[in-house]
Amino acid sequence: MSSSSSLIDKAVEHLSQFPGIGKKSALRMALFLLKRPEEETLHLSKALHELRTGIKFCKQCFNLSDGELCNVCNSPSRDEKLICIVKDFQDVIALENTAQFSGHYHVLGGLISPIDGIGPSDIKIPELINRIKKSEVKEVIIALSSTMEGDTTEFYIARKMQELGVSVSTLSKGIAVGGELEYADQMTLARSLQNRVKMDL
């Protein structure tokens, strides 16, 4: 798709790289920005630049953060003895939107997948174990997708947690087998948290 302006074509090319955005949608977005006051476009540009340069990973849970610690880890109202283990920061957002969890998180940044050469040390499992050893955590909730990789990771972590004397539970099976946590609706996630199941190995 080409227009009468190479600058518009360039903007469309970049905008169409967003998930779910095709060339036509990207063109509409580019033309919308052109119709808005220049100041608004500059604010958007500044916000995107700050997003790219300012976002960090929380040094405790590895969630996205503006500073050394994320808002969850910094909150005095959260239960430090309860940790929910998730694959990625999108899952934290999904669970937070349920308003049913008052503990802390630990973001693995991936799942164990031997076929892809990804082992426990390639994701944030060693950091999780060290964190548990240095804290007074009583329970971990393993909130991973119901896939082969998710189940493998869940089993590995559950064994490690039980060796450390920590109670382990998992989401109730309101989450469809093979489904990704971030795509589950808020009601299903909320019920899965409330009705979590203790894991006995």
> Tokens standing for 38?
């220049």
CB atoms within 10 A of CB 7: 10
78 with 36, same domain?
no
50 with 75, same domain?
no
> Tokens standing for 66?
């503006």
Q: If you average pLDDT over residues 145-155, what whole number do you get? A: 89
Percent of the chain exceeding pLDDT 90 equals 73
CATH number at residue 45: 1.10.8.420
Q: What is the pLDDT of residues 91-118, one digit of tens each?
A: 999 999 988 899 999 999 999 999 999 9
Q: What is the pLDDT of residues 58-75, one digit of tens each?
A: 999 999 999 999 999 999
SS3 per-residue string spanning 119-139? CHHHCCHHHHHHHHHCCCCCE
What is the pLDDT confidence band of residue 10, given thresholds at 50, 70 and 90?
A: very high
Does the predicted TM-score (pTM) go above 0.85? no
